[in-house]
Amino acid sequence: MSHQSPLRVAVAQYACTPKPATNLDTAVAHIEQAGAAGAKLVLLPELHNTPYFCQREDPALFDLAEPIPGPSTKRLATAAREAGVVVVASLFERRAAGLYHNTAVVLDADGSIAGRYRKMHIPDDPEYYEKYYFTPGDLGFTPIDTSIGRLGVLVCWDQWYPEAARLMALADADLLIYPSAIGWDDATDDSAEQKRQLDAWQGVQRGHAIANGLAVVTSNRVGIEGDNGTEIRFWGHSFVFGPQGETLAEAGEAGELLLADIDLHRTEAVRRIWPFLRDRRIDAFDDITRRFRD
């Protein structure tokens, strides 16, 4: 595919309210703003229609899920078409009764659904009880073809796994994209621990960019969300890294629309000087599919 270069991307970073309709209005407003700024790709935060409901286990919260296609994809598709942008949205998907996914859906610039990715790695930690709500994805690590290129879309917890990024790269993704919802617990994480966590979160994804010669685009929400006596302070710091891990843009801890220009042609140039794909010892990687080498 012939790439537009540079490709202007927009990363929407904002706080989510208890009202899904308000959150959807906010998403559409960011899409409109991004299109007016010349962006061709807009990334929204993880599960942007609702507060981060996985802080507790409650069967009533499954009512927040919706089908894909459904009301939210219809509204977002109209916004994508009118703004002339590709949108990566993140929704709580109701696939069937008792079967739900954490799903990223890609809407092309003409408003059509280009594809979807169901989150493969599902965490289960204090205040992040996602295994209760989400069935692990079953669509594999397959890039989604759009009018601007092949998007290697993954979701939040997937960003800690180099295998996921590598498989997207091996399937000829042009970009790695991660909608996220991650933050601190101010009651237990002191300032030193907060810095370590933030550095690790950005550092592992910088490594994915470098190891695969691909730009990485990551969103995060902001704000404090509390439920059942706990609080998460979402740390923001959405970013765009280039294919050598260079920072092209980074947000702070407040809401904003982050813009960056990505030269997609640099992947070819970088891989010529750092030919990691050429030098992979695929003949010696059999153990990578084992849980642990005892």
Selecting among 46, 93, 130, 225, the annotated active-site residue is 46
Please say if 119 is a catalytic residue.
Answer: yes
Tokens 């042009």 -> residue:
174
Please say if 156 is a catalytic residue.
Answer: yes
Nearest-angstrom CA–CA distance, 205 and 202? 5
- Write the DSSP symbol of residue 187: T
Nearest-angstrom CA–CA distance, 242 and 92? 30
Nearest to 222 by CA among 231, 206, 213, 233: 233
Selecting among 16, 54, 93, 119, the annotated active-site residue is 119
Q: Is 258 helix (H, G, I), strand (E, B) or coil?
A: strand
Degrees, nearest 5: CA angle 31-45-30: 20
Instruction: Please give the full DSSP string across 168-184, using - where no structure is assigned.
Output: HHHTT-SEEEE----EE
Give how far the C-alpha of residue 228 lies from the chain's centroid of Cα atoms, to the nearest Å: 27
Report yes or no: 84 and 56 within 8 Å, Cβ to Cβ: no
For 231-242, letters b (16+ CB in 10 Å) and e give ebbbbbbbbbbb
Selecting among 40, 130, 156, 225, the annotated active-site residue is 156
Please say if 46 is a catalytic residue.
Answer: yes
Active site residues per annotation:
46, 119, 156
